[in-house]
Amino acid sequence: EAGVAQSPRYKIIEKRQSVAFWCNPISGHATLYWYQQILGQGPKLLIQFQNNGVVDDSQLPKDRFSAERLKGVDSTLKIQPAKLEDSAVYLCASSLSRGANTEAFFGQGTRLTVV
C-alpha cells in the first residue's frame, strides 16, 4: 500500500514570496491533516479536513495561509506571502477515521526555509 505522498521535499524561498505544498493521502482515507513542525517542537495542527470539508482550521493563520482539498482526495497548502517565522517542516497525514481505524499515517514532510 502506498503511503502519504508529499511534494516538494525541500523548498527555499525569500520572504514575501508565495509557496504551495501538495499532499496525496492514502487511498480511501477520509481525514487529512496539515501540521506545521518548527525545529525542536511538536507538530502543530494547521487544518483538518474530513473528505473535502474543513473540520478544524482554528490555528491556521488565515491572513496568509490557505488550504483546499478538492474532491476529497489531494490537498494543497499555500502560504502567501511567506514570513521568516514560517520556516518549518510541513507535515501531511491521513487517517481512515472509521470505527477503530484512527491511526494517522504521515508523509515525509516538506522542509520550508524562508530567507
Per CB under 8 A, does 108 bind another protein?
yes
Binding another protein (rule: CB under 8 A), the pick from 41, 53, 63, 71 is: 41
CB of 25 to another protein, least distance (A): 14
Alpha-carbon Rg for the chain in angstroms:
13
Confirm or reject binding of residue 113 to another protein (CB under 8 A): no
Q: Is 51 in the site for another protein (CB under 8 A)?
A: no
Number of residues that bind another protein (CB under 8 A): 26
Query: Closest distance between another protein and the C-beta of residue 7, in Å?
Result: 14
22 is a contact residue toward another protein (CB under 8 A): no
Sign of CA dihedral 98, 101, 107, 112: positive
Contact status, residue 95 vs residue 104, Cβ threshold 8 Å: yes
27 makes contact with another protein (CB under 8 A): no
Task: State the residues that interact with another protein by CB under 8 A.
Answer: 31, 33, 35, 40-45, 48, 50, 55-56, 91, 93, 95, 97, 100, 102-109
